[in-house]
């Protein structure tokens, strides 16, 4: 009662086949496998990059200088004489 029984899996597979079609399922599984391989290789690359450089990351671009901002007051909207404010 607590876990998935084999007939549950059969129903799930049948729903997938009905939704996506028998032709698209192998292509979908293939592209999912490729995506997982790419994801795993990127994770390994990130881990090797972070373990290789123990100090702060060397940035080739200098930090941006802050820009002084100016306050510009917009003109107040004109009110027509026939409108009354509450």
Residue with tokens 């129903």: 11
The DSSP letter of residue 86 is -
pLDDT tier for residue 65 given thresholds of 50, 70 and 90: confident
34-55: per-residue pLDDT in tens?
Answer: 999 999 999 999 998 888 765 5
67/55: higher pLDDT: 67
Given a contact cutoff of 8 angstroms between Cβ atoms, the answer to whether 40 and 32 are in contact is no
CA distance to 38, 39, 70, 71, 81, per residue, from 44 (Å): 10, 9, 47, 48, 70
8 A C-beta contact, residue 4 and residue 11: no
Q: For 20-29, 30-39, 56-65, which range has the lowest pLDDT when averaged over its residues?
A: 56-65
For residue 68, give both structure tokens. 């002084």
């Amino acid at each position: 009662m607590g876990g998935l029984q084999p007939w549950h899996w059969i129903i799930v597979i049948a729903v997938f086949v009905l939704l996506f079609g028998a032709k698209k399922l192998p292509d979908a599984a293939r592209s999912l496998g490729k995506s997982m391989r790419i994801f795993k290789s990127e994770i390994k690359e990130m881990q090797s990059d972070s373990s290789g450089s123990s100090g702060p990351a060397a940035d080739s671009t200098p930090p941006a200088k802050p820009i002084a901002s100016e306050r510009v007051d917009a003109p107040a909207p004109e009110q027509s004489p026939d409108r009354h404010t509450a």
